[in-house]
Amino acid sequence: MDVVTWSRIQFAMTAAYHWLFVPLTLGLALVMAVMETLYVVKKDEFWKKTAQFWMKLFAINFAVGIATGIILEFEFGTNWSNYSWFVGDMFGAPLAIEGILAFFLEATFFAVMFFGWNKVSKRFHLASTWLTGIGATISAFWILVANGWMQNPVGTTFNPDTVRSEMASAAAFWEVVSNPVAVSKFFHSVTSGWVTGGVFVVGVSAWYLLKGREKKFATKSMLIGGLVGLVGSAAVMLSGDASGIHAAEFQPMKLAAAEGLEDGGKGAAFTIVPGIKVPHMLSLLATHDWNGYVPGINDILNGYTDNEGNVIPSVADKMAMGRTALDALATYRANKDTNPELAAQAREVLDANVQYMGYGHLEKPEDVIPPVGVVFWAFRFMVGLGMLLALVLLLSVWFAWKGKLENYRWLLWTALWCIPLVYICGQSGWIVAEVGRQPWTIQGLLPVNVAISSLSAGTVKTTFFVFLAVFALFLVIEIRIMLRAIRKGPEVEPEKL
């Protein structure tokens, strides 16, 4: 495998590992904040001890997540230096804000939250707990602003003098921040974290009930965790609907791959699994129109007319315009100091074709097709598991409310096994989002084969296995520490359970 493939594998491995910790951080932050609020409002020590237990697991997860996030950001410079050069002025802004504002807020109040129980007032400590979760959420927002821009590059212009994509004004910055893809991705990702946190709390609580331990603690925790997870599930469905609309508008090839749709049309059917389809459903989901036009893979390759009557060129035509843009860029840069007239003519040609410049780097039209099978099944795992998790959360909340959980051991076992399933669900969603937009690092502007650093495949391969070993070690250590804390249980007196 070449350096591009190894760099992609390494980045995918780092990102996937990092995402094991982010959603649980977001979900547990909300769960423990709700529990501590109940402690302050009800003045019941039970809720304090309950919140402290989940806070301990939050802290373990939080610490490992920081380390993986730092490595992930460094890989933009080490493995993807051409990408970093091309978008550094834009991409660096949200990452800098995330570090200066969100991470600072998160880290500062985390210290007060974890170590300040007997050092600050109840209300100040409660505020610190909420602010820790808010800081984590704001951190996710700025990261997803950057990621959303990669999916739908708005608010920037290409500067041929620096060969960079730049934000020219404050208005452009706010266009990047309000990018509809970034906004829907933020709500989808954060609320999926609530689902992860809810399922984790419900699953761990189910283990206590299966062991006949800490029954009050487990039942109350399951009730709070299940409610948080259910709210997250509802929000995930709503934001998922928006994500589908945006994919149809800005990344039609991703949508076509997720559906395995070779030839599109009006009233397109949604494929549940191969051989089972729901007529018109894909058109309804993608366009909110029962008979809306949805292009398939072949339509995108050959060109089509969208629902607004816009004629979308074929990929071959886009490649030709992209090469024209690249030639014009080379002519402009070679003559801007010596032949201003020729440079001005080249600049006009460049400006007319710059939106397709990324296509000029492709070798053949079929390069724009992502791995259809991977994206197709990842989407179905995401949706199918998401529906299963929502059902388990609903049943858990209902029987916890009725005080009948111990009568349904099958539900307790199912809830326990949903912990690994919620992670598979989350990883599947990111596979759809990131593998589905291949071959682009920036949609339509920069393919992966141009974004790479000047490294040897052997160098990246070596560091991949080093990181894999280190990450595996960290994961084993974290799981062991978490399991030890869970086995020990909450520090609540047995007679109060």
pLDDT in tens, 62-89: 888 877 778 888 888 889 999 999 988 7
CA dihedral 393, 394, 395, 396 (to 10 degrees): 50
Positive or negative torsion for Cα 430, 433, 434, 435:
positive
What's the pLDDT score for residue 168?
A: 79
164 and 283 housed in the same domain = no
Comparison of pLDDT for 333 and 496, the residue scoring more? 333
Q: Which long-range contacts (CB under 8 A, 24 or more apart) does 12-17 make?
A: 12/434, 13/464, 13/467, 13/468, 13/471, 14/68, 14/71, 14/72, 14/75, 14/467, 14/471, 15/72, 15/430, 15/434, 16/427, 16/430, 17/68, 17/471, 17/475
Query: pLDDT category, 493, cuts 50, 70, 90?
Result: low
**Does the residue 286 lie in any domain?**
yes
Tell how strand 164-166 and strand 157-159 pair up: antiparallel
User: Which pLDDT band holds residue 492 (cuts at 50, 70, 90)?
Assistant: low
| Co-location of 122 and 170 in the same domain | yes
Task: State the average pLDDT for the chain.
Answer: 92
Q: Is residue 186 part of a domain?
A: yes
Q: Is the pLDDT of residue 192 over 80?
A: yes
Tell whether 488 and 377 lie within a shared domain. yes
Do 439 and 345 share a structural domain? no
| Distance (Å, whole) CA 138 – CA 133 | 9
User: Would you state the pLDDT for residue 169?
Assistant: 82
Going by pLDDT thresholds of 50, 70 and 90, the confidence category of residue 100 is confident
Last residue of a domain, one of 320, 335, 361: 361
Residues 349 and 388 in one domain: no
pLDDT of 153 over the 80 cut: yes
pLDDT band at 349 (very low <50, low <70, confident <90, very high): very high
211 lies in the same domain as 86 = yes
User: What tokens appear for 254 in the block?
Assistant: 């991703």
Residue 187 lies in a domain: yes
Contact (CB, 8 A) for 443 and 255: no
| Domain presence at residue 367 | no
Give the pLDDT confidence of 381-437 residue by residue, as tens digits. 999 999 999 999 999 999 999 888 888 999 999 999 999 999 999 999 999 999 999
Do 157 and 299 belong together in one domain?
A: no
Of 361, 383, 403, which one is at a domain's C-terminal end?
A: 361
* Domain count within the chain: 2
Instruction: With respect to residue 257, please indicate whether it lies within any of the assigned structural domains.
Output: no
Q: What is the pLDDT of residues 120-151, one digit of tens each?
A: 999 999 999 999 999 999 999 999 999 999 99
- Look at residues 291, 326, 361 and tell me which one is the last residue of a structural domain: 361
Inside any domain, residue 444: yes
Closest CA to 387 of 379, 397, 376, 375: 379
14, 128: one domain: yes
pLDDT band at 495 (very low <50, low <70, confident <90, very high): very low
Residues 260, 104: Cα–Cα separation, whole Å: 43
Range of the domain at 121: 3-251+372-496
- Is pLDDT at 232 greater than 60 in this prediction? yes
Q: What is the largest CA-CA distance in the chain?
A: 88
Residues 89 and 69 placed together within one structural domain of the fold:
yes
pLDDT in tens, 264-280: 999 999 999 998 999 99
Q: Are 354 and 384 within one domain?
A: no
Q: Please tell me the distance from the alpha carbon of residue 76 to that of residue 181, in angstroms, as a whole number.
A: 21
Residue 117 burial (10 A CB sphere; 0-12, 13-18, 19+): middle
pLDDT at 497 over 70: no
Say yes or no: 437 and 293 in one domain. Answer: no
Signed CA dihedral, 265, 183, 254, 26: sign only: negative
In a domain, 200, yes or no: yes
Could you tell me the pLDDT band of residue 296, with boundaries at 50, 70 and 90? very high
- 154 neighbors 132 (Cβ within 8 angstroms): no
Joined together, the tokens standing for residue 411 give: 């539900």
Is residue 285 domain-shared with residue 338, that is, in the same domain?
A: yes
In the chain, the percentage of residues whose pLDDT exceeds 90 is 79
Measure the CA angle with vertex 92, ends 87 and 95; round to 5°: 135
Q: Is residue 415 a contact partner of residue 202, using CB atoms and an 8 Å limit?
A: yes
How far apart are the C-alpha atoms of 197 and 25, rounded to whole Å?
Answer: 7
Q: What is the pLDDT of residues 334-347, one digit of tens each?
A: 999 999 999 999 99
Kindly state the tokens that stand for 220. Answer: 């109350």
Contacts 24+ apart (CB under 8 A), 333-336: 333/160, 333/161, 333/163, 336/161
